[in-house]
Amino acid sequence: MMTWENLGKALTTAAFAGVGLAALAGEQLCKAGKVLAEKGEIYVAQGKKYGEELQQKLQEDARRRQDERFDQQVSALDAEQRDALRRRLAELDELEREAREAAAQVDEAQEGAQITEIHGGPQDRGDQE
């Protein structure tokens, strides 16, 4: 026979069991969330790595195909066209050499201007006399 006292104890035990179950579920969810977050970070890092590797492979493949097309086009040239190509390449080499020389002259001029600004130029000598 169930008494009011036994019923009260049973309800209290059931309430504590419910609270305990909720706490345990919360702890397990927290642990599971940490594990899932760690796994997610690992998979994101791996995906990024694989993506970078794939991009590099695609770029290498594109360069290889471009080189193959260039080789095919050069191979298809006749002797006169190859001579014209050689002359054009020599012209481009000369233009590049001239551009490097001009850039070096500009750099030298800029360095000289900076030294004059720091140490003073002829305009400062008049004050000393």
Residue-by-residue pLDDT tens, the chain, 129 positions: 567 788 888 888 998 898 988 999 989 988 988 999 999 999 999 999 999 999 999 999 999 999 999 999 989 999 999 999 999 999 999 999 999 999 999 888 887 766 655 555 555 555 554
60 and 84 fall within a common domain: no
Looking at the domain assignment, is residue 104 inside a domain? yes
Provide the token pair at 106: 């500009």
20 within some domain:
no
Supply the pTM of this predicted model: 0.43
Report yes or no on 30 lying in a domain. yes
Do 37 and 70 belong together in one domain?
yes
Q: Are residues 111 and 88 in the same domain?
A: yes
Clarify whether residues 34 and 68 are in a common domain: yes
**CA of 107: how far to CAs of 10, 58, 66, 101, 104, in Å?**
92, 39, 36, 10, 5
Does one domain contain both 69 and 86? no
In a domain, 107, yes or no: yes
Please say whether the beta carbons of 85 and 77 come within 8 A: yes
Q: Looking at the structure, do residues 39 and 51 belong to the same domain, yes or no?
A: yes
Q: Note whether 30 and 70 are same-domain residues.
A: yes
Instruction: Give me the number of domains the chain comprises.
Output: 2
Q: Is residue 4 part of a domain?
A: no
Q: 96 is in which domain, residue-wise?
A: 79-117
Is 5 inside a domain boundary?
A: no
